[in-house]
A and B are shown apart, each in its own frame.
Chain A
């Protein structure tokens, strides 16, 4: 009488277990690694209608962020500058450059340049720029080193846990009020001393700026 099950079936339970485990691990790892704003949002670098370089303007020329984003300290929304702001300088600088044709046209006609928005939190999140920059949170914390980007890309995940990391411990991020737009600023060039200084002054700034860093849902979701 021949065997009903061939010999290899002895290994079948082991194969099922190993195969199942591998699949579960791969799927879990894939979801953990990919299903997050750290993957989906970070690195988003759309083609803008005008090839404006933040590295040139904010980095090399050292123009303050607020020269163009002038409402950031007063409004929840950090404005995209009007084309007339560009023309403050570009009515003389590169005034016939073809790369700036759209800017000149927009300033003359009043028709806005269709910039592509990169950083955008969900519509049920009410992020307030003014509250943050007036209380010692630098642009760099959420936007990265814009002053080194030829073309701006999304550099931080801006996920809910990203917000909460800072809201749970604002003292690690707050900096002197006059260093908000100084994106390369650190308390000290030496990382060890920088961490020590941050720990020392962070608490003081949190107290002085009256940082509340609310953690209840309605702080952001209204």
Chain B
């Protein structure tokens, strides 16, 4: 019996010693005890796959592919993403001039959306207030970040800001892949609200608000 207990204890110690505890960090790939059908021969996004010549599961669309995505509702009108419409290009249909005003009707909902998306995608560089003092500027990593309250930018047409957000400008790369069109227009609308907050003068306020804030 003594020998049994000894062997038993040694075995337990060896198993615990080799296997370790739950949650221990390991570089080894997890073992599948019961593989069942956990890994199937199907295409999953962004994985290596031998089916296509370049060995990737996610393929780029062929040149000239027309997107089949849903249409956008712009002020009650359906617009598809392949159309030469201001909402897609930021330019007047059939011309190269930028449209002056937002392609979407500016509503509270659009501004709220723009606020949210601005803080995710624009604020890292331009800062939450748009003064060009985002985190990349603060750590001294970026040499040039535009102050969005610059007269130069205030005077731009909405369509041109949309174009910059989509295709980039200078060292800023385009955000067309990361931010949807609706959201880019929402960001433009929100940016206008941000700019207005810096441009405003006391006379813009209603008399009762001015009285409340003690502004003559």
Contact = CB atoms under 8 A, between A and B. Distances in A.
Given A19-B4, A89-B142, A124 B38 contact: yes
Nearest to A26: B12
A38 B136 contact: no
Contacts of B180: 74
B1 interface: yes
A39 to B, nearest CB: 5
A124 B37 contact: yes
A138 to B, nearest CB: 15
A72 to B, nearest CB: 11
A209 interface: no
B173 A91 contact: yes
B26 A84 contact: no
Given A67-B121, A112-B46, A123-B42, A34 B177 contact: no
Given A35-B33, A62-B135, A82 B25 contact: no
Interface string A37-49: 1111111111100
Nearest to B19: A34
Interface string B152-183: 00000000000000000001110101111000
Contacts of A35: 33
A34 B24 CA distance: 12
Contacts of A30: 15
Interface string A165-208: 00000000000001000000000000000000000000000000
B141 A92 contact: yes
Interface of B: prevailing SS = loop
Question: Of A19, A33, A45, A88, which is in contact with the most chain B CB atoms at under 10 Å from its CB?
Answer: A88
B177 A92 contact: no
B73 interface: no
B120 to A, nearest CB: 4
Nearest to A79: B46
A46 B22 contact: no
A40 B23 contact: no
B22 A64 contact: no
A51 interface: no
Nearest to B178: A70
B1 to A, nearest CB: 5
B6 interface: no
Nearest to A62: B135
B145 to A, nearest CB: 10
Nearest to A122: B38
B199 interface: no
B48 interface: yes
A117 B44 CA distance: 12
Contacts of A79: 45-46
B8 interface: yes
Given A89-B136, A92-B141, A67 B27 contact: no
Interface of B: 1, 4, 8, 11-12, 15, 19, 22-31, 33, 36-40, 42, 44-48, 56, 116, 119-121, 124-125, 135-136, 139, 141-143, 171-173, 175, 177-180
Given A39-B19, A124-B37, 9 more contacts: A15-B4, A19-B8, A44-B30, A45-B26, A70-B178, A84-B173, A89-B124, A114-B48, A153-B25
Closest 9 CB pairs of A and B: A122-B38, A93-B141, A123-B40, A70-B178, A64-B120, A40-B30, A39-B22, A42-B23, A43-B25
